[in-house]
Structure 1
């Protein structure tokens, strides 16, 4: 693993983690009538805290894009998943909640899982993109899954809806990361003209805006504990699937390596859940927003 890729990915995770906390703190004050509507972004743009969180998120996505340009998607995605650690750091600083056994176990699982997956899998770049049919099947399948989850979330927006929206957004962000890497390759090969002549950068923008609406809708309706773990777990899983199936990333496939890779991914997800459910995470103000929305509706 190259040190620049590690530094870029961890810096991106730091910006994303801090940004998510600030965004959720602002989004919980938005009216529930904006649920799953682009109007939600217009309301949030009036809140300085949300703008600050979004600036950090954009910076994190930019750093992540540079990391993706220098390293394999299957390597960068697990590192980006550590954004939850930084979100917990900021939340813990604000709540003064001790880390406790749950926090330390979650930290160990997440860090150990990332290490196990990277060391066992030894991600390396493929030689070519997947054939067009396979490419569109993977992208279509991911987007279809996100649409299906969003449909279910709309019907249960105050119960399981936030978690479903977060999984949908994480899935789209995983596809976005794959297309970001392809866009970077096109830019390296032919400059701005080559980049803008392809559909990938426009798809990256569309996925980014759609994912942002889904994430903010999840943030406004429930505490961060219900949405951020699902988002953080879904994105690397979708990204790794796209890296291997779409971009030709290679992982070791012998029995021992596959066992450690599976164990590493399981530990990452378990660590994310434990950290995301930590008492230090913001509890949110969905109930207050709900009451305010009823009174003004």
Structure 2
């Protein structure tokens, strides 16, 4: 099968993700003043452009799924990280600014590094067949990690808070893909255990993206676009890979070359994330009463 169609679909999906991120960033910046927790999120729900961003995000997810349906994962998945690069000119156009060299360099390092890591950790999909207890334990660990990240973010400075909150959002989103995978496998099973695992996974597949989406809004508001988007771009696929390795027993090929490739990729991605996080926000905004705590998400800010 030709790779032209899946590559095209993956690029369209990345463009949708980038556009949605920019629109979310614009709306959270406009609607963040004087609002925290539930008030902040309720304010977003009344903003039409934020709903447009949500629709574009959903379109990107649908196109990405279509790309995975017609193309191989090793080709489609790495192209998704191009959303970070595409977001730079889109954001520059919307905000009438020029993209700084540091932003291009940071985005390039994140993309190249993450592609290297994903290539090294490439694994074959097996039919999902997790036992009930390991799956529940894994889900509890994921929620615990997310809670710790949100609680820690509440005690950090504004932009660092946005980065850490974005990592928590990435953990939610990355775990969602595994939950969906397990839910489909469980609900089409025939045994009572399959139905129970599939039902729990289905609940997780609905709850995790809602929590992650809410966390993204706080991350963009507190940390701007570049740093949180880079953190989300890195954390999402890595979380999916780690959870897949531990829960679904997906084993990638291990070898010294791949280990070195993964380590170099991790260093490059971390360096790029640092550059993006250190890039000054063009809007020049600073901490203010409207930039609330990320812990609001974990304590009821979503819903």
Which category describes the TM-score, using the shorter chain as reference length?
Answer: 0.7 to 0.9
Alpha-carbon displacement from aligned partner over 1:185-237 (angstroms, at most 9, x marks no partner): 567779xxx89972323322211111122111222234224422222222222
Q: Contact 2:173–2:209 at 8 Å: present in 1 too?
A: yes
Q: Contact 1:69–1:185 at 8 Å: present in 2 too?
A: no
Q: Contact 1:75–1:123 at 8 Å: present in 2 too?
A: no
**Superposed counterparts of 1:1-297, under 5 Å:** 3=3, 4-31=5-32, 34-37=35-38, 39-67=39-67, 78-94=78-94, 95-98=96-99, 100=101, 102-156=102-156, 158=158, 160-185=160-185, 198-275=199-276, 278=279, 283=283, 285=285, 287=287, 290=290
Q: Contact 1:77–1:240 at 8 Å: present in 2 too?
A: no
Equivalences, count: 285
Cα distance, 1:247 vs structure 2: 3.1
Moved more, 113-122 or 158-167: 113-122
Q: Contact 1:171–1:234 at 8 Å: present in 2 too?
A: yes
Uncovered stretches (5+) of structure 1, i.e. residues with no partner: 292-297
Q: In 2, Cα distance between the equivalents of 1:72 and 1:243? A: 17
Alpha-carbon displacement from aligned partner over 1:260-285 (angstroms, at most 9, x marks no partner): 12322432343344356556x65474
CA gap 1:232/1:88 in 2 versus in 1, 3 angstroms: same
SS at match of 1:97: coil
Alpha-carbon displacement from aligned partner over 1:50-83 (angstroms, at most 9, x marks no partner): 2221211122233334455667878765443332
Q: In 2, Cα distance between the equivalents of 1:275 and 1:226? A: 5
CA gap 1:27/1:263 in 2 versus in 1, 3 angstroms: same
Over aligned residues, Cα RMSD in angstroms?
3.6
Q: In 2, Cα distance between the equivalents of 1:134 and 1:209? A: 23
CA gap 1:215/1:203 in 2 versus in 1, 3 angstroms: same
Uncovered stretches (5+) of structure 2, i.e. residues with no partner: 292-303
Tell me the TM-score normalised to structure 1 length.
Answer: 0.78
Q: In 2, Cα distance between the equivalents of 1:121 and 1:156? A: 32
Tell me the TM-score normalised to structure 2 length.
Answer: 0.77
Alpha-carbon displacement from aligned partner over 1:147-194 (angstroms, at most 9, x marks no partner): 01111223446363222211111111110121123345567779xxx8
